[in-house]
Structure 1
């Protein structure tokens, strides 16, 4: 990737009252001067950075006004890209945007590619690669949690954690490689006990970052919630009630839902992906069997499982059905299961709340009495879901890994750290220990972009929108 020429692009979406057009590069201010006529009569090239100027964008050949605009001026290196920049705030008409872009290109700019402004910020050392990726996450954020996660990473919270690890590892490598220069004298510069303790602490910090991926990736993609249970217990009715719309078909006929239906709801600033599944039962229907197989696939991928049961049934029958359903579900580490006693509006006698408490105690999973049809206790259900996800790390500045590329790099770094510690315990020579630690450094530096191939950069920035 190169930083060549002066680029321009519309940085705002269509349909708004105003638009912003960005220009960056060595000739950015001269290009803007070619089409801008300041009300003050002064050239932008004579103005200092961080100033705002009112005037007109004109067709240079006729001096005919295209629009009245405001131009923000930024001087290198104190700009987003690290280059001279100008941003034109104009009216949001598609015709005006097209005319201004046409004149800027005629004056010497070229149309920017996807993410090219952020590419230049990265290549000019204004941000590292993890911060650049956070820019895309910030644009794509759709709730409070994903916004907080992207903001922390964009501000460098992520990078600071890696920089600290990197400095400590570099110090280790320098001491080990210094020993190689004095190999004949058998001199030791790195105390092996301190070295082991330091590697252990760094391995612990890398492990913490790896474990945070479970939360970060789930928040980024939406917390998966599988609604499961036997046919006709109200799974589709519950989904419709949570969505406040008739998304899933509801019928008294058992086995109506034969495929997975997935919809997203924002609860407490976090997106939850609710998955309505086919009822689990023995059946000879080929299509229903396919739906049930997909149900088990959804259960395996979900972070939370809502097991529905018919709370209007006689207690003995109810307990037997719950026991049968639980026997079909193999919970994996980190999954939560809640038992929902639905149809409590049909209960003729007894206290649904006491029944739920009794069921919860018997089966070892929290239970809640609800009525999806009458929206009874659905507020308690959403509160239960919100409290089941510890989002505090997202808001207190703790680095949380949400990017699969970062997770894979940390995984490789962790494996190299394990090899280094094993080599240390086996009294391997300094050059072999140094090699393993340098491998740790390599994987950490691919995250921040201190080491990055053109293929990786192209893959990352190709997903950016034009103008960012």
Structure 2
């Protein structure tokens, strides 16, 4: 699977900038870089320098100077990939980047595939597979919570927990396999009482990890929140207040928002994707009707629905609004529903007290003045179980890991049932082997070229 050739790629984001980093990795990385590097120190050669050192000089193509650069050397096995690695910090001109990369491509390097540096780190034992996947999650993290989870996984928190369970199960599996070799003598090497305790503990840990995926998936992908209501109740104004910018067009004309508008913000370290929808009402306008249809589609996709009315409506027509609220509740019974009385700046304090007494779960807010917006954010963050984050518990965010955990849990449940029924060791050994297989899939003890290809194809080139 692994190639021994030397690869090169831009390690920083594409485009011009102050600095760009070009990375080489492979057995001949230092030698190749040395042929095109002229140090400011006379007669200095990169091949003679110690690992983890930085050198100032020029990148040259024959007698032509391409750029002045800093060259960092990391010699195997003490590098990210476990191979010889050279990182060239040059000026961030796109022209300079391309000239340097093309120079090395002409002189013994190959362009790295997507994720090939991290793939080599995995194949050389510098990372296990779940840690390698966490590298991509860390790069993609766009809020504090997803960053925290990716860092924990990259440091081996998740994989060490799985590896420990797998090792204990493997020890018992070895004893049961040994019993099969002495089946005619009717001996029992594996203590069934201790084995049951282990299986119970593994079941408990697997269940906790499986349950954590609901939170992990939300943290990784963000929480979609649909802002719905009748036309001109302040949905777009609320979106702008939440985002703290003029993202949506605000007008006194009913039906201004004809299509859905989406944007994301981080609240308490969790990503929320707010969707401003077209106002729900009876209309003959074809375009507006399409927008209203999309509103219900977005409500289906959302995890939280924010239902907006104006405070004036609550004051004048509370009975009708109660019916409308019940319709939404009945249509989406599983979704958290936040009911908001907006435009509280347009009614009296007495009217607000009356609204609160009649609608117990109402949230009072003025999107125009910002009053109540922070309290709404706190209410939304309350829908996410952040306890596991605060306690630094392992949280599963990867669908592949979740699938393997489910399969491992199913096999462990079979082993547990077999113990309770007093099944023979040869029958339980089959289920134990399958559980071990699924554990190994997570950390990479068991892999296929197709699996690795699918995982690393999603990486960016240069990482």
Give the TM-score taking structure 1 as reference length: 0.90
Unpaired stretches in structure 2, ≥5 consecutive residues: none
Shift of 1:255: 5.2
8 Å Cα contact 2:314/2:321 also seen in 1:
no
1:163-215 deviations in whole A, cap 9, x for unaligned?
11111221221122122122122222333333233222211211111111111
Which segment is superposed worse, 73-82 or 132-141?
132-141
1:135: how far off? Answer: 0.9
Which aligned pairs between 1:445-460 and structure 2 lie closer than 5 A? 445-460=440-455
Residue 400 of structure 2 is matched in structure 1 by 405
**Counterpart of 2:213 in 1: which secondary structure?**
helix
Q: 1:44-83 alignment to 2 at 5 Å? A: 44-60=46-62, 62=63, 64-83=64-83
> After the TM superposition, which residues 240-251 of structure 1 pair with which residues of structure 2 at under 5 Å, given as runs?
240-250=240-250
Q: Is the 8 A contact 1:310 1:318 kept in 2?
A: no
Tell me by how many angstroms 1:72 deviates: 1.0
Say whether the 8 Å CA contact 1:17–1:92 is kept in structure 2: yes
| Range with greater deviation from structure 2 (51-60 or 72-81) | 51-60
Residue 357 of structure 2 corresponds to which residue in structure 1? 358
Alignment of 1:22-421 (within 5 A): 22-40=23-41, 41-60=43-62, 62=63, 64-250=64-250, 257=257, 259-280=259-280, 291-292=291-292, 294-315=294-315, 317-318=317-318, 320-330=320-330, 335-350=335-350, 352=352, 354-355=353-354, 357-359=356-358, 361=360, 365=361, 367-394=362-389, 396-421=391-416
Match in the other structure for 1:441: 436
Cα distance between partner residues in 2 of 1:225 and 1:308: 13
In 2, Cα distance between the equivalents of 1:349 and 1:101? Answer: 68
**How many corresponding residue pairs?**
460
| In 2, Cα distance between equivalents of 1:200 and 1:458 | 35
Contact 1:148 1:395 in 2 (8 A): no
C-alpha change, 1:208 and 1:281, in structure 2 (3 Å) is farther
- Give the Cα–Cα distance (whole angstroms) in 2 for the partners of residues 295 and 165 of structure 1: 47
**1:285: Cα distance to partner?**
7.0
Deviates more, 1:274-283 or 1:93-102: 274-283
SS across alignment from 1:175: helix
What's 1:3 paired with? 3
1:17 — aligned with what?
Answer: 18
Contact 1:229–1:325 (CA under 8 A) maintained in structure 2: no
| Mapped partners of 1:67, 1:372: distance in 2 | 54
* Kept after mapping to 2: 8 A contact 1:410/1:444: yes
> What does the per-residue CA deviation read over 1:235-279, in whole Å, with 9 as the maximum and x for residues that have no partner?
233223223344444455655545443221222332211122344
8 A contact 2:115–2:461 mirrored in 1: yes
Q: Give how far 1:293 is off.
A: 5.1
Structure 2: how far apart are the matches of 1:355 and 1:176? 71
**Alignment RMSD:** 2.5
Quick one: structure 1 residues 325 and 44, their matched pair in 2 at CA, closer, same or farther if it must change by over 3 Å? same
Residue 456 of structure 2 is aligned to residue 461 of structure 1: yes
Q: How far off is 1:401 after superposition? A: 1.0
Name the stretch that deviates more: 292-301 or 172-181: 292-301
Query: Quick one: distance in 1 between partners of 2:283 and 2:410?
Result: 46
Residues 53 and 71 in structure 1, CA contact (< 8 A), matched pair in contact too: yes
CA-to-partner distance for each residue in 1:263-307, whole Å, 9 max, x for gaps?
A: 212223322111223445567777666655544443344332222
Pick closer, same or farther for the CA change 1:357–1:448 going to 2, 3 Å: farther
Instruction: Decide whether the 8 Å contact of 2:143 with 2:269 is kept in 1.
Output: yes
Q: Which moved more, 1:413-422 or 1:255-264?
A: 255-264
